[in-house]
Amino acid sequence: MPGLIGRKLGMTRIFTDEGRAIPVTVLEAGPCPVVQVKDEDKDGYAAVQIGFGAKKHKRTSRAELGHASRAGLDAAPRLIREFHAAEGEAYQPGQQLTVGMFEAGQRVRVTGVTKGRGFQGVVKRHGFVGRPASHGHPMSRTPGSMGPGTDPSRVIKGKKLPGRMGGNRETIRNLQVVRVDSERNLIFIQGGVPGSRNSYVLIRK
């Protein structure tokens, strides 16, 4: 089974029958049309290319329109991603994939781009404790000693230092599906997923 492209709407909570609150992330997933089906004979690998959303006609190139029209789509998808197809699974261009592919209790992995934090110090970026805070220490959040002095007289590669934080592509595995709303194309996943509101994510089994 391939997967779905979704959009992160935000977080809320769901109460169980026992009254226990479960924090969930709400994703708007699909419907995702199949734009192209690739096979090993023609393309060298088996994959399914699916889309999400729709671009405005005036902002779409003729190449994108032609690629979408071959699948029977009226508009070019806003986002296109490929998923590896498993053996024995058959898909057709123009086929719609919905959240009905998932069910409550299922385990999924979600891929997204984490929130960008900009240039940050070692305390926020790596969780350093910092210097003593009493008596107004002048450099309480500095990284401290850089490493060996005489030999090798340089900072060792891989040392945790200040720098750009966030904005990386990350995948969280073993997330549980709490609820699936097929009418509104929503999927509720327990816990948090990478990305900010309205950012795109990939959902796979």
Q: Which H/E stretch holds residue 91? A: none
Q: Are 178 and 102 in contact (CB under 8 A)?
A: no
Distance of CA 24 to the CA centre of its chain: 15
Which DSSP category does 68 fall into? Answer: H
The torsion angles phi and psi of 65, rounded to 5 degrees, stand at: -65, -40
User: Mean pLDDT, the chain, as a whole number?
Assistant: 91
Q: What is the pLDDT of residue 150?
A: 82
What are the tens digits of pLDDT across the range 71-98? 989 999 999 999 987 776 788 898 899 9
Q: What is the pLDDT of residue 140?
A: 86
What are the tens digits of pLDDT across the range 160-191? 999 999 999 999 999 999 999 999 999 999 99
- Percent of the chain at pLDDT > 90 equals 66
Reported confidence tier of residue 136, pLDDT bands at 50, 70, 90: confident
Q: What is the pLDDT of residue 1?
A: 64
Which DSSP category does 31 fall into? Answer: -
Q: What is the pLDDT of residue 102?
A: 92
Average pLDDT over every residue of 24-28: 96
- Report the helix count and the strand count for the chain, using DSSP H and E: 3, 12
Average pLDDT over every residue of 12-25: 94
105 pLDDT higher than 80: yes
Reported confidence tier of residue 41, pLDDT bands at 50, 70, 90: confident
Q: What is the pLDDT of residue 110?
A: 96
Q: What is the pLDDT of residue 12?
A: 96
The number of C-alpha atoms within 13 Å of 39 and in the hemisphere containing its C-beta is 8
Average pLDDT over every residue of 22-28: 96
Domains of the chain by start residue, with CATH: 3-117+169-204 (2.40.30.10), 118-165 (4.10.960.10)
d(CA 100, CA 104): 10
Strand arrangement, sheet containing 47-52: 79-84, 47-52, 32-38, 96-97
Whole-number CA gyration radius for the chain: 23
Q: What is the pLDDT of residue 7?
A: 96
Highest mean pLDDT among 44-58, 91-105, 122-136, 173-187: 173-187
Q: What is the pLDDT of residue 120?
A: 96
Average pLDDT over every residue of 38-43: 86
Q: What is the pLDDT of residue 156?
A: 87
